[in-house]
Structure formats: structure tokens, C-alpha cells
């Protein structure tokens, strides 16, 4: 889809300062037939934005989300496996049955991270 998005280069504006950015300033993170994910760091205010673009039969739609992730961090996160429904249920069950305080839960999480 990147080729068809070359035309939106003029309309990629920084959501913070309004600077018009060129398509060539973005990094294409993921690309499929009718949707793409781009990362843009504004050259003026240095704000980073994730841009989700999808093309449908009524035109092209985009959603911009401000992020504190740099290009490398976003690339790494997108390559990770998606969270499964089973994992969500597992966390739900854990939290449902957890009898301690939030402070205790944070201690358990910190131990698991070490």
C-alpha cells in the first residue's frame, strides 16, 4: 500500500505543531494490501506519531496516535507475538483470585521481571 500512499505525503501533518511532513520522512512499519502502519517523527517539534492508514471502497482513512516510542522500539514491539485470548483469560483469572493488595501484586511483578 506504500506506493498508493505516496499521494498522502502532502496531508501528513504533525498533530502537535501542524508541520507538513513528507511521506519519505516516515518509516513503514507494517504493510498489507489495504492497510499500513507508519512512524513519523516531526522534524520541528520532535513529536513521534504512529499513523494507521487503511483504504476502503470509500477512500483512505488514517488515525494518528502520539507515542513516546522511537522507531526501533515500535519495530521491536510490532514483531512480538500478539496477546492471545487465552492469555487475557489467564490474567483475568489471576487477578480475580488474587487476595493481596496492589502493593503485593507489584512486588510479584517486580520479582518476575528480575
Residues of this chain, 17-36, that bind Zn ion according to CB under 5 A: 17, 19
Nearer to Zn ion, 43 or 107 (CB): 43
Binding mask 46-65 for Zn ion (x = CB under 5 A): -x------------------
Contacts of 4 (CB under 8 A, 6+ apart): 55, 60
Q: Please state whether 63 falls in left (phi above 0), alpha (psi between -120 and 50) or beta.
A: beta
Nearer to Zn ion, 47 or 62 (CB): 47
- Distance, CA of 55 to CA of 50 (rounded, Å): 17
Asked whether position 14 contacts Zn ion by CB under 5 A, the answer is: yes
**Residue 52 CB, nearest approach to Zn ion (Å):** 18
Amino acid at each position: 500500500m506504500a506506493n498508493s500512499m505516496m499521494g498522502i505525503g502532502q496531508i501528513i501533518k504533525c498533530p502537535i505543531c501542524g508541520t507538513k511532513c513528507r511521506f519519505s520522512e516516515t518509516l513503514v512499519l507494517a504493510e498489507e494490501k489495504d492497510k499500513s502502519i507508519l512512524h513519523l517523527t516531526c522534524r520541528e517539534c520532535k513529536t513521534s506519531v504512529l499513523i494507521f492508514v487503511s483504504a476502503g471502497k470509500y477512500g483512505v482513512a488514517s488515525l494518528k496516535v502520539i507515542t513516546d516510542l522511537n522507531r526501533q522500539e515500535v519495530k521491536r514491539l510490532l514483531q512480538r507475538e500478539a496477546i492471545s485470548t487465552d492469555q487475557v483469560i489467564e490474567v483475568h483469572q489471576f487477578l480475580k483470585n488474587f487476595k493481596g493488595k496492589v502493593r503485593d501484586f507489584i512486588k510479584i511483578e517486580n520479582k518476575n521481571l528480575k
